[in-house]
Structure 1
């Protein structure tokens, strides 16, 4: 497959994302089943993720280069223009190759007329790059690579940190591992990585976490297929630490992971504690990923497909016995993990935040009666927006008399946020995450 076809594949994959009707979540599977050679798949992913990450700025530059906007039926050509700009600005592709191969990819899309348009736009950008960039960067959302509504949300929520949040979002996150302590210690696995020639260091906050200096394919990780290690961000690993007081050194506890897919936190809890765990998720397809994860790690849980926010669905999955602990890793805006899912910049709308907050409230209200007196509910999101985090928990506590905030006050990570704890994304560290631990009065 020639380079032009590789870029054409990336452009086609970006079309639904640019139109606000898709994401990059299935890109790996689509590449695996495509004719793209394995050695070229990393390049395609870099193009797709890079265009989404820098989209506000690339789109502004494209608008300066086009005489008139592309019609929707030609979104694939718009994608090629963004791909060309991204290569010139952010990749090591020789400029002449970025121009010629990107323009030539229009033929692979069956639109040879666009070759001249793309060639002209990209060559003009090469000539006028400095002036064009200076012009579009007068607009803060363009210069900071974020849609305006999201920029305003960050400024309102974090007046002293909003720029740092944007800058962290615009960098690819590090590759962080979670060692399966049922198999070996973190120190022992660090030695295995060193022997394999992979530079790594222990995470600062997560007890089982290791951060690689350079990301790699999981097939290069010693013992990955055998379940010795998993990929999971440091923020997400703190879930098990917060549930330790409720689950450690006790008889086998009944635990519910209410929004379990894809299964990382489910697996971590089972690696750490002897528990009778039910993994619940509304999407049966995504629940299959939980099953695959547990199978690789040699762990067991009861998997149930049902809507945890709908009490009418209780009979389909709940036996009526209360849980000693509940993990609610709630659906959210994902604004703390934009660096790992940059298509969020295109997929999310301002109206989504209120809709997600309403869903989170329904989940809290539906799950609380299923918690045993004296039990613990851990609420988590990968968001940095107060409406989904501190304000959500404040509202829940105000309407739930037997709920008590139980967040430790001696944590060395994150910052206080109402009755919870907020981590903001850091360039060389953890993702953005929020936790609030609640206890039901005995």
Structure 2
């Protein structure tokens, strides 16, 4: 990738994209605050209700640049907007998400405008400016003026007169030559805003539906809720929403889909655990596994804890909730606590607190139901409809007298552990489980409408890597299932290599395994026999893409 900062206004000699990701997914390594936010005093407590468009473009460009270099888009946006007014943070999120959803086209246009690739941050800002011109919600002179002003506020030595001239010239050229720069015969990546290999693969495996799948993946996902059956369920959640004047649709047994996204702390019943944010497709997992009272269940890759909570809301069972990352394991605890579900402490476990300390699990049979209500999701993220699991700010300290008292010993609840599910020798007690939920790591190709950055982080070879991991996990966990028990294999993928292919290969090698294909799910007409849910939005279904396979072990 070129680092030449000099602008070039001449006709392009060869197509050069605006900016390209360097490869594998990684945390943002060089987050830096937008300098303009401090200069304008736009912190939440300030009297400024909204920053200038130029300031918002700077923050969005920084986030988009980091995303293209491997950072999670949500984390980057949160970092660069946390000192901005809520309205500006929301605007930055919308701009960054919209540019990410159009990045195939924006990259193609940049290749026509730029004879040499600009530095990544300048290229990201150019992409945002072009996206604003395509969107056309503001007057063209305003967009060009504010984007050029944003150049002068960029950090890292990018701001200089030549860069501002480059931005002004290329945006004006796009306005003049728009029709020529966006011809009808665009390459697949620009036309469908998915990587070329992704388009090719979806076309191959879903020949009758591939265009609808790609289009649905670029839709903005709605805010979907799961009602807690222990606290009144769907009826009570509906009553609370209606009383607050919030529009919604009932879907499935426990689901409600809001007509408009909103901050989770404003949703009636969220703080006290009546509702949780969860896609309707993800809600199928617990219903398919069908937990029964007294059973011992393993949720092998449980973070952030939504499926664990749903299992416990359905039955008085014992769920072992595992995640290899201690921080994510603490998120499971937080979400269970907000949902008023008991934790069964595991002796010797130490999980991180949200404030940087640790919580040592209590031994033996006591259960702590510390019902924290400090779970929130970034306001700008919620407003954009990019639903993510709420994360509580802290795990209650077992010695804190301000926290609720220890509840009486019970025999159901969640046993949360930060361990590697693929290494049972390090955590398993030798007693087999009645049911196992394996929500395996995958490409996340089914949840692109919520996480469009997945498109630009994945590479074709990643699919084979994930399928290998999935195959190893199911092999490791199968012996932990008792004869007569059930294992639900799940991924949020639309690629058969991560779903049907993995399960078919496993079943062919295990005579004691039967794939239950004829599934009936309450509130879900026409469950697909192959277990593959594709991203869908209609009157009957509203969900992301998931694959489910229900496997029974013969006695």
Corresponding position of 1:357: 467
Q: 2:548 aligns with which of 435, 438, 441?
A: 435
Q: Which structure 2 residues correspond to residues 42-191 of structure 1 after superposition, within 5 A?
A: 42-70=90-118, 74-90=119-135, 92-110=137-155, 111-112=159-160, 113-134=162-183, 137-191=185-239
Matches within 5 A, 1:293-442: 293-299=335-341, 300=343, 301-309=414-422, 311=423, 314-410=424-520, 412-417=525-530, 421-428=531-538, 429-442=542-555
Report how far residue 28 of structure 1 moved: 5.9
CA offset digits 1:225-267 (Å, max 9, x no partner)? 11110111100001121112xx23xx41111110011111111
Q: Alpha-carbon deviation of 1:315?
A: 3.6
Structure 2: state its 5+ residue gaps. Answer: 1-39, 41-51, 344-413
* Larger-Rg structure: 2
Deviation at 1:96, TM superposition (A): 2.5
Counterparts of 1:427 and 1:185, CA distance in 2: 24
- Aligned partner of 2:256 in structure 1 is 210
CA deviations over 1:164-215 (Å, ceiling 9, x no partner):
0000011111111111111113123212212212111111xx3100111111
**More moved, 356-365 vs 219-228:** 219-228
Counterpart secondary structure, 1:16: helix
When residues 325 and 114 of structure 1 are mapped into structure 2, their CA distance, relative to the original with a 3 A threshold, is: same
Q: 2:229 aligns to what SS in structure 1? A: coil
Distance 2:507 2:126 in 1: 50
- Is the Cα contact below 8 Å between 2:233 and 2:274 reproduced in 1? no
Aligned partner of 2:267 among 211, 216, 221: 221
> In the alignment, is the contact (CA less than 8 A) between 2:517 and 2:529 conserved in 1?
no
Residue 198 of structure 1 is matched in structure 2 by 246
1:100-134 alpha-carbon deviations (Å, 9 max, x no partner): 21221112114123211111111211222222111
Return the offset for 1:90. Answer: 2.8
Partner SS for 1:416: coil
CA distance in 2, matches of 1:202, 1:186: 8
Q: Is the 8 A contact 1:414 1:424 kept in 2?
A: no
SS at match of 1:377: strand
Q: How many residues align?
A: 424
TM-superposed deviation, 1:156: 1.1
Query: Structure 1 segments of 4 or more deviating over 4 A?
Result: none
Give the corresponding residue for 1:15.
65
RMSD between aligned residues: 1.6
* 2:230 counterpart SS class: coil
Instruction: Determine the structure 2 residue equivalent to 1:283.
Output: 325
Please say if residues 281 and 305 of structure 1, whose CA atoms lie closer than 8 Å, have aligned partners that are also in contact: yes
Distance in 2, matches of 1:91 and 1:273, equals 52
Aligned to 1:240: 286
Provide the TM-score with structure 1 as the length reference.
0.92
- SS class of match (1:398): helix
Q: Any conservation in 2 of the 1:56–1:142 contact (CA below 8 Å)?
A: yes
1:57 touches 1:145 (CA, 8 Å); kept in 2? yes
Structure 1 unaligned blocks of 5 or more = none
